[in-house]
Amino acid sequence: MEDNVILESNTLVLATQEELEAQRKEGKERSNDIRFSRLLRFLEQKVEAGCSRFVFEDVLFTTTRMQAQLWASLRTALWCLQEYHPEVTVFGVPVKTLKAFATGSGNAKKEDMEAALPSGEKRLGADDNEIDAIWLAKFAMAVDKGDQDFLWPYQRKQK
């Protein structure tokens, strides 16, 4: 995103199923997950290219340990990045906040998120993760305009 225009969006695949299976067989999925180091490297490259803000959908996984572990790794990569690059800001947008911003309903389904995108912002072949990323960029633009804010639910209730 630059000057309130979404320049690029996509889904980042940090490891193939084959790589993940090999990692499991070596017993490294809980000690040296390749997705963590690849994500950290990707974020570092983005900072080197001039990116100074990262906005992510703050999902609270309760279904599986692997999902929770992967999500914790994402947050840790972002925290490490911020530790070494204090000029970088990191914001998590709660899922219901993003859905309500996009569709007016915090309980919207993935199809609703896609349907709510203006036709000029739909990307051919975009999966639901990329659609969420586009909405995150749009949310960040609304923050920049002063129409939204990066507040956690507790902070929002206080306000």
In this structure, what CATH number is given to the domain that contains residue 134?
A: 3.30.420.10
Answer yes or no: is 31 within a domain: no
Angle, in degrees to the nearest 10, between helices 34-48 and 17-26: 130
- Rounded Cα gap, residues 41 and 45, in angstroms: 6
Answer yes or no: is 43 within a domain: no
- Rounded Cα gap, residues 121 and 136, in angstroms: 13
What is the per-residue pLDDT across 100-145, written as a single tens digit (0 to 9) for each? Answer: 999 999 999 999 999 998 877 777 778 888 899 999 999 998 988 8
Answer yes or no: is 25 within a domain: no
What is the per-residue pLDDT across 12-63, written as a single tens digit (0 to 9) for each? Answer: 888 899 998 998 898 877 777 888 889 999 999 999 999 999 998 887 766 6
**Domain limits for position 68:** 50-158
Q: What DSSP state is assigned to residue 117? A: S
Answer yes or no: is 137 within a domain: yes
Q: Domain count of the chain?
A: 1
Q: Kind and range of the H or E element at 92?
A: strand 89-94
